[in-house]
Structures are given as C-alpha cells and as structure tokens.
Structure 1
C-alpha cells in the first residue's frame, strides 16, 4: 500500500515537473524579441519595374519602403501616388542621384533631399523625413552633417543585407536570392537593399522567393517610418 502511494506521488511530481518545463519553454519562446525585416527599393519610380514590384508586394500582402530619386518623378506621378496609396513608405534619395554633385558639400546634399521632399509632398500630400545616401553613408557621414540633417528632422537609413542588384543588375535570379537571404545572425532587424531601375527585372523575379523565405522563418515585414530607429554606418572622423 505504501509502495503504491509512493509511486502515485512520484508520478504526480514528474507530471508537475513536465508541466513546469513546458510552460517555461513557452514563456521563453513568447518573450523572444520579434524578427523584423524591412524591404527597401532605391532609385525609382520607374515605369515597368516599380509597378511589377508593387504587384508582387500586393499579392504577398507585404509593405515596403521606396527611396525616391526626385528627377525620376516627372511623368511617373501616378506610380508615386500608387506607392503611397497602397500603404508603402516613401523615403528621399536625393534629387539628381549625381554623386559628383550631391557630395560637393553638406548644403548641396541637404538641398537635394529637401527638393525631393517638396516634390513628393506636392504630389502625395505626404512629407517624408526618411533619407538614404546614394552609395550608403559609409565614409560620407560625419557628426557635423548628422547634426545638420537632424536640424531638418531628416533620419538616415542604410542597410545590412544587399542584393547587389544596383552595381550588377544582371545577376541571376538565384544569385540575387542568395544575396538577399545572406545575413549576420547578430542583427536585431534586417534592412534589405534592392533597386527598381529599368534594368532590375531579375530583382522582380527574385522578390517572391525572398519574401517566402523570410515568411517561413517567422519574420514580420515592416515599413520604415518616422518612428523607426535610425540605422547608419560608423561616422567618418
């Protein structure tokens, strides 16, 4: 009789331990930080590619961020309006995208951003304070320029995943997928650099696979907005 009671107590104790471990694992899993990802497209809008990208994003139920070049807007106002109307975020990528011009001085750089900002507001009614340096901020951004940008309420967003479709748009769809899914696991959030130039058709082809890949890994797709923490490379001394 005593042996039977002892066995029952052992079973109850083991069951309690099992339930405790199960709840602990669930609590630990639930409290793990979310995995956020930001799809970003530079250099648009363009007639065909931007619309194709928007079609895919719509089909997949995903939002993205488009860093707009001011001079590209003319004649493509409807595409810009579509980006905004479909809930995507809009950023500034200078007006001319002319490296020799925009990096002559801090004042010229800021003026190009503000000119694009005004053009976007004229068409959409939306004022964007998000910027991206053509070529990235590395070796271009210093504390002086950072302070000037912040005085104009401009926030910087570089990237930590790169499709390399800007420098080499002719990469195969598979290579773009590999580039777009290769990242350092230490990153708390992923910001993917992609392009929507007229020659980025392989980016269009790779995008559905990239989205599916990160969905399967449990990432949450977000847009960069005014509440998104800045992300820029090490400041130039």
Structure 2
C-alpha cells in the first residue's frame, strides 16, 4: 500500500513538473515572438514594404515597375483564388526576387475565421496555388485585417505547428479602407511615424483599385532612402512580428493537446 501511495505521489509530481515546463515554454514563445522585429536590424534602419490583396493585373504590374526602377525588394501577400489568370504576374514577383506571402485563399472573413481548421486550410490552399505557379512553398502569412483580436494561444500553436510565421505591421497608409485617398495623403500616412521606429513593416495594397498607392510609392521610397533605411523583403529568416495576444487561464489537458494537435 505504501508503495502504491509513493507511486501516486511521484506521478502527480511528474505531471506538475511537466505542466509547468510546457506552460513556461509556451509563455516564453508567445512573449518572445510578438515583438522581435527590432532584433533584425540592430543599429540599422530597415523597412519592409508589404503589399496585400494581390495579385491584380495592371496595378501589381505597375508597382513591380516602380520597385524595379528603384532597385527595391518587397513582399507580396497574395490571395490564392486571385492567382487564376494572373500566373504571369506571380511569376514576375518571384523572378524579380520579391518575397511571396500567404493571405488566405478566399479572403472571406466569415469563412477564414469560422474556426481554426478553416484558417489553416485557407493558408494551405493559398500555398499550394503559389507552389503550382512558382515551385516555391512559402510559410510567411498575414491575417486578413491583421491578427489583433483574432490571434489567440490556440491559433498560435496551430499556426506554428504548420511552420507558418506571422507578419503584421507597425506602419500603414489608409489605402486599405480608402483606396481613393490622394497620393499625398498616402505618402503622409506612410511616413508619419518613421522617426520613432528603426524597423518598419509598412502595410500597402496592390489590388486593382489601388492606383493612388502606386502613384505615391516613388515618393515613399525616396523618403525612406533619404532617411537611411535599408529595404528588405520578408523571408522565413525575418523575426516574426505579430500583435500581442492576451493571456488566459490554462487547462492542463488543453495545454497538452495543443502540442500534439495539428491540421496540416
């Protein structure tokens, strides 16, 4: 009987130790990943131009022209179902050494955010479409509308279990909400916080309606070049950057299952 009692105590102790190990590892991962962007630049000033909601026929092509003229690399977060018929645009993005990221397959918020599996499958479908056209399978992703108030610990574990890395932004224009905003207004929005941030991920868009974004882009590039920023494309080596997520009370068995459950 005493032996059985000691075995029970040892098992309980083992479970407690395992629980705290997983809890600490999980919490450190969440804290450490959310704001690592500055680690990529040290004393250098770096800007990542990122373009959502492509590809489109004319506008994405014109943006690529501007980037080529200015010898600047950028990152394009593409919507998978918009690639059909625009394969040449996607091939050009890849051929000219820009990065391609995943922005879901449909960009339909209700479908994308209906549940964790739907979100993961949207990213996998988008990646498959990019691979079909370019031969690459990128793992960099961006939430439609950004991860704020959408990303939680369960989603984060599922996303990381599929080797995806999340990239939100810390600077933006108003072109997502108001594509008809003047080029001058877009320029002011894109540059207003530059003095406060040494590493910038700038949110822009390249859908068919964003011609003013294209018009503002040369001035935005010139501004950041004059300010001494280095232009980079996001790669899988770029420190992950997503908005902080809230904590919650952990259930031990939920914590264990989150490490073994995967949709990919």
SS of match in other structure, 1:101? helix
SS of match in other structure, 2:145? coil
Partner residue in 2 for 1:84: 94
Partner residue in 1 for 2:232: 222
Worse-matched range after superposition: 175-184 or 145-154: 175-184
- Per-residue CA deviations over 1:123-149 (Å, capped at 9, x if unaligned) read 101110000000000000011111110
Q: Larger Cα Rg: Structure 1 or Structure 2?
A: 1
Partner residue in 1 for 2:76: 66
Runs of 4+ in 1 over 4 A off after TM superposition: none
CA distance in 1, matches of 2:246, 2:151: 6
Report how far residue 188 of structure 1 moved: 3.5
Partner residue in 2 for 1:159: 169
Report how far residue 235 of structure 1 moved: 0.9
Number of aligned residue pairs: give it. 206
Report how far residue 184 of structure 1 moved: 6.0
CA contact (8 A) 1:160 1:183 kept: no
CA distance in 2, matches of 1:191, 1:101: 27
Report how far residue 185 of structure 1 moved: 4.0
Report how far residue 187 of structure 1 moved: 2.9
Partner residue in 2 for 1:207: 217
CA distance in 2, matches of 1:192, 1:168: 16
Partner residue in 2 for 1:16: none
Report how far residue 236 of structure 1 moved: 3.9
RMSD of aligned residue pairs (Cα, Å): 1.0
SS of match in other structure, 1:193? strand
- Per-residue CA deviations over 1:161-211 (Å, capped at 9, x if unaligned) read 111101100100100000000126443310000001111000000000000
Partner residue in 2 for 1:231: 241
Partner residue in 2 for 1:150: 160
TM value normalised by structure 2: 0.77
SS of match in other structure, 1:37? strand
Structure 1 regions of 5+ residues with no counterpart? Answer: 1-31
- Is 2:148 aligned against 1:119? no
CA distance in 2, matches of 1:186, 1:220: 16
- Is 2:85 aligned against 1:75? yes
CA distance in 1, matches of 2:198, 2:215: 27
Match of 2:193 among 179, 183, 188: 183
Partner residue in 2 for 1:50: 60
- Is 2:167 aligned against 1:169? no
CA distance in 2, matches of 1:211, 1:154: 29
Match of 2:103 among 76, 90, 93: 93
SS of match in other structure, 1:38? strand
SS of match in other structure, 2:100? strand
CA contact (8 A) 1:69 1:94 kept: yes
TM value normalised by structure 1: 0.85
